Structure 1
């Protein structure tokens, strides 16, 4: 029996994946190609794209730089705090109190100065005032009688029918009666004034915030505040700010207040800056006045952006400012076109860039792109870009 010998050729069937070793090779080749493209885009576009070579033939990367100069930048401070009435006025019993018969206002209602907020029963006080009014009438009658007797005695003393001493006694009786009239009138006026203070009145025009009294309640001078109101409806935000932020803040500084949970913002201005700092929190309070709006509820929480002055600072695009574990930094092109790392302190972000509070004076050539691919001491070909604005 004859047997044929030969090699067996393995063919890949359709739908069968490549061996793992070949798949890894393909992935590695793709990664290398991508890195090569990126490196060429950043550093290797050749002399036609602005790259340069050193004397030894080493190719230099063309990197965009700018001299930022200095720009006047508004210093905005973001803070939080609580909303409150600018003048929160407690309203209580001014008189002796009693039984509340009616409550005439509700929270959220506007009232005028002197308007009655609640009435107190005055039936007993009314009778007392009537009794005192009667006493005034009696005292006036006695005074009239004493005056008449004095007039008759004055006519008889010249005829010798009565003595001058008797005339003086009658004059004293008349004066005493007149004094009793004044005492009775004063007592009546006091009673009427007390009765007038029984009603609870608004001390000034404003907005009723809370109501703590109901009809049938017995109130007295010890009952505390029965109403709370905002004088003239004026509102404010009491913003908690660090002592550093308070340094540049001035009365009249503009602010924008946004209540928590709302997308609506309200313009305001700082009307008072705290003269003291809390030693435990190292913070002070800036009071921001805002016009009344139903969305501004005293006791609520809000955030605010306050313009705390302005400063002349270098302004860089966001791409120029890098950061790592040690903080923010930029690359500056120094002597012999070598890049140097410079630590910087940034200010509040502006619409057209990032202000640099510390670290630059504005005359340096600052790398504005590709900084993440550079190393300190690396030599580049700087391409100066015009400063915007």
Structure 2
């Protein structure tokens, strides 16, 4: 029995059924091929997987500078007290007595030997007059002795006077002449004592203080009655640290500004202390100054002292920061991490800030943006040329 007889259907239906089966078979083959292609692509991606991307570096970029060392003229700041370069105390040179007149006031310019005050001399003048009379008496005695000697010499040849008498009269004349000389010396001594009753200036200069009044009794124990600045010259006694003291020399220039003024008075160092105070580790530099009314002994002033030329690191002003501990900079180490370094700065000029201590010049210093950094931060440094 055949299929047609057993199913009893139309032959066209069998043809349509075969075509449907063929289409399904082709679709399945296409799907299988696509699945195989996708699987192969996935396998290739797995085998050739790209390495993971590097983590993004979020470190800030900063500009750094290697300052090196440059020749600069160092200025050392200092403060101190003003005083007379040579403060001359003037007292009583003679025996003293009652002051009759005071002839000068503080601020007066005086010449060497000028009378500052006079002391009563009425007693001494009378003593001088007595000594002057003694001179005249001694001279009269000397004239009489000479006349006697001359007569004796005229008579000795006639035998009326012996040679011994002549010798006696010669001795009398010599004694009389000696008494004249003694009287003259005593008179000159008294005149010198009278002259010492005048209180005189020992030098040309400016009267600073007066401690004497008319009617006052003065003597050798009265102390200084006047103080005079010799030639009117003043000085600033500035205190410097041990390290700064070693950098200054006699003859170096200095500019002094008295407190309360804007004056710039140019002076010269004339003495550098040979010793250091063991307690404060400081020494004194004495700066000679010309006369100026603004320079008052006992006053206070600031100074800028020329410390000569030296080789120091130079930094831009933006590189130097400050806080309650003082001035500092940020350095970038080999690991590109920021570290703080305290520094001492000097002068500022058009090239930058000179660093007196704290740097050797070979470090990498953050040139700017240091205020936004903290110690230990990691950065990406970019080198900037140093100032010239």
CA distance 1:323–1:339, shift in 2 (3 Å): farther
RMSD: 2.5
3-state SS, counterpart of residue 260 of structure 2 = coil
- Residues 306-349 of structure 1: per-residue CA shift (max 9 Å, x gap): 222332111112322356798734223647xx345363533324
Q: Which moved more, 1:228-237 or 1:65-74?
A: 65-74
CA distance 1:229–1:324, shift in 2 (3 Å): closer
Q: Which moved more, 1:228-237 or 1:76-85?
A: 76-85
Task: Give TM-score scaled by structure 1 length.
Answer: 0.78
CA distance in 2, matches of 1:109, 1:284: 33
Hey, what does 2:223 align to over in structure 1?
A: 224
Hey, what does 1:251 align to over in structure 2?
A: 250
**Larger Cα Rg: Structure 1 or Structure 2?**
2
Pairwise CA distance, 1:244: 2.1
CA distance 1:242–1:324, shift in 2 (3 Å): closer
Hey, what does 1:188 align to over in structure 2?
A: 187
Hey, what does 1:378 align to over in structure 2?
A: 378
Hey, what does 1:159 align to over in structure 2?
A: 158
CA distance 1:87–1:197, shift in 2 (3 Å): same
**Matched length:** 333
Structure 2's unaligned 5+ residue stretches are 1-52
CA distance 1:367–1:172, shift in 2 (3 Å): same
Pairwise CA distance, 1:227: 0.8
CA distance in 1, matches of 2:135, 2:374: 103
3-state SS, counterpart of residue 134 of structure 2 = helix
CA distance 1:326–1:145, shift in 2 (3 Å): closer
Hey, what does 2:37 align to over in structure 1?
A: none
Hey, what does 1:48 align to over in structure 2?
A: none
1:70-89 paired onto structure 2 within 5 Å: 70-89=69-88
Q: Which moved more, 1:59-68 or 1:233-242?
A: 59-68
1:34-183 paired onto structure 2 within 5 Å: 58=57, 61-183=60-182
CA distance in 2, matches of 1:124, 1:325: 73
Structure 1's unaligned 5+ residue stretches are 1-53
Q: Which moved more, 1:121-130 or 1:207-216?
A: 121-130
Pairwise CA distance, 1:361: 3.7
3-state SS, counterpart of residue 303 of structure 1 = strand
3-state SS, counterpart of residue 181 of structure 2 = helix
Hey, what does 2:344 align to over in structure 1?
A: 346
The answer as to whether partners of 1:252 and 1:271 remain within 8 angstroms in 2 is yes
Task: Give TM-score scaled by structure 2 length.
Answer: 0.78
The answer as to whether partners of 1:60 and 1:381 remain within 8 angstroms in 2 is no
3-state SS, counterpart of residue 177 of structure 1 = helix
